[in-house]
Structures are given as structure tokens and as C-alpha cells.
């Protein structure tokens, strides 16, 4: 499938999606959000894709925010629809994807860019990365899940400070906050993400999908995460991957998982 604002490349079970709007610092407009939805959906439905990496083109930005020119004149109803539709199409969609998603944060990840990175299952940052939610400086708040996911990741106090001051933090602060898992040089960023993705791809896709659902359950209102874990654990016993994994362990050989 061809895209206007994305570059998509797959090799060795890893699909890399690159947001390709360098002149706009890869800002998210509605067309890009729709294309990202389609690209993530296609990768998730591709049985050969074991891990997805999302990044931005160029050296300056992962995603420098939303395209403000698209919604500067919106009214209350239009603004509400913008947030609801964006969360459904992209941010919640990525968070609940059965295929693990790594955010490779190169440069600025601001506003909707940081919200996209936080929707991924974990994050790796280049040492020049800058992250923040500057929305209150525009008279609005984060609308793509930022108030919720930032609080989950860094805690209420730090999230409140970042949101209310509209300040950026650097990669070292992000690491100390637990917002990113690793910091690397920009030249190493994709290689490190590929290495992590390769380690993930060796494991059972069905078990990884179950783990994603179980972890996410902890953050869903009215859902008992422990109960979800028990159910997902039990369901694993009915999969071919469980049979293969345990058999391979007992036979002292490498497992060959089918993803079933």
C-alpha cells in the first residue's frame, strides 16, 4: 500500500513506519493520522510482522505536535470530535494492538507526538530528544490521551508539572522519570530498536499479545487486571505456541513459534 505521509519498510519480521513530513517536523494532521491507522492495521494483520517500530523522518523530530492550522478555528463540537476520533483511530488503537510497538524518538516529541510515543508499548530516545505537552500554552489541553498516559508513566505530580508549565524535558530527565527505557545516540537509535525488536520476535507472538492485554487491563476502569492475567495465562495453555515452547524447553532446543 502506498502512503503520502509515511514510509513503511518490512524486513526480518520487523515493520518500520516512518512519518515522513520533514518540512512540518512530522506534525500530525488528519490525513497522517488516518494513514498511520491503516499502516498499523496492515502490519498487525501481517503474520510475518512480529514487531513494529514507529519513528520520524529527518534528524530534528519524531513528531513535533499536531498540525495546529487544521483546528485553530474549531468549535466545541468539532474539538470534541477531533479528540475522540484521533484516540479511536490511532492512540488507543496502537496501545491495544496485539503486535508490540516500539517508539524510536528522534528529536522533538511534543504534544500529539509525545502522545503517540506514549501510546506505544515502550520508548527508546536519541540523546537529543526533547519531550513535552505544550498544549496549555495554546489555551487547550492534551486531547489524544496525554493527560492519562503521562500520569500512568511518570506519576501525578510530574505529569501535572509538565502539563501545567508546558515545559520540555530532555532525554536524561525522561529516562529518570521512566518515560523512556533507553537513551542512545541518534545514529544508533534504529539499530538499537531493531536489536530489541529482534529479541522480542524470538518469543511467542500469542504470549506477547496476551501479555499486552494483561498489562493494559491494569489501566482500564472497571477491569480487574489480576483476573485478566489469570484468564490470559489459562488461554495460553490452549495454544500451539505453548506446546512448542514447553516441548522445545524440555528437548533443550530453540522454539519455533507459529503464532497460534
Give catalytic residue positions.
115, 135
CA angle at 46 for the pair 94 and 122, rounded to the nearest 5°: 30
DSSP code for 231: H
The number of residues making up the chain comes to 260
Whole-angstrom distance, CA of residue 110 vs CA of residue 260: 38
Q: How far apart are the C-alpha atoms of 62 and 21, rounded to whole Å?
A: 10
The phi, psi pair for 203, rounded to 5°, reads -95, 175
- Name the region of 254 (left: φ>0; alpha: ψ -120 to 50; beta: rest): beta
Q: What is the rounded distance in angstroms from the CA atom of residue 134 to the CA atom of residue 110?
A: 7
Amino acid at each position: 500500500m502506498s502512503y503520502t505521509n509515511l514510509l513503511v519498510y518490512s524486513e526480518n519480521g520487523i515493520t518500520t513506519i516512518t512519518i515522513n513530513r520533514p518540512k512540518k517536523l512530522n506534525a500530525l494532521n488528519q490525513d497522517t493520522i488516518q494513514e498511520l491507522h491503516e499502516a498499523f492495521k496492515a502490519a498487525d494483520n501481517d503474520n510475518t510482522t512480529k514487531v513494529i517500530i514507529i519513528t520520524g523522518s529527518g534528524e530534528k523530530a519524531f513528531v513535533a505536535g499536531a498540525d495546529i492550522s487544521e483546528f485553530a478555528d474549531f468549535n466545541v463540537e468539532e474539538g470534541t470530535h477531533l479528540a475522540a476520533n484521533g484516540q479511536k483511530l490511532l492512540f488507543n488503537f496502537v496501545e491495544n494492538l496485539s503486535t508490540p510497538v516500539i517508539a524510536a524518538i528522534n528529536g522533538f516529541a511534543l504534544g500529539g507526538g509525545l502522545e503517540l510515543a506514549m501510546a506505544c508499548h515502550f520508548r527508546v530516545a536519541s540523546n537529543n530528544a526533547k519531550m513535552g505537552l505544550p498544549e496549555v500554552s495554546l489555551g487547550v489541553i492534551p486531547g489524544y490521551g496525554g493527560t492519562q498516559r503521562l500520569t500512568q508513566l511518570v506519576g501525578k505530580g510530574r505529569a501535572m508539572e509538565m502539563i501545567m508549565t508546558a515545559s520540555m524535558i530532555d532525554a536524561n530527565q525522561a529516562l529518570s522519570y521512566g518515560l523512556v527505557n533507553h537513551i542512545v545516540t541518534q545514529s544508533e537509535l534504529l539499530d538499537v530498536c531493531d536489536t530489541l525488536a529482534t529479541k522480542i520476535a524470538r518469543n511467542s507472538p500469542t504470549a506477547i499479545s496476551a501479555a499486552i492485554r494483561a498489562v493494559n487491563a491494569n489501566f482500564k476502569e472497571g477491569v480487574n487486571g489480576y483476573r485478566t492475567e489469570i484468564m490470559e495465562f489459562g488461554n495460553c495453555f490452549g495454544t500451539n505456541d505453548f506446546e512448542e515452547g514447553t516441548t522445545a524447553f524440555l528437548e533443550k532446543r530453540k522454539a519455533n513459534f507459529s503464532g497460534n
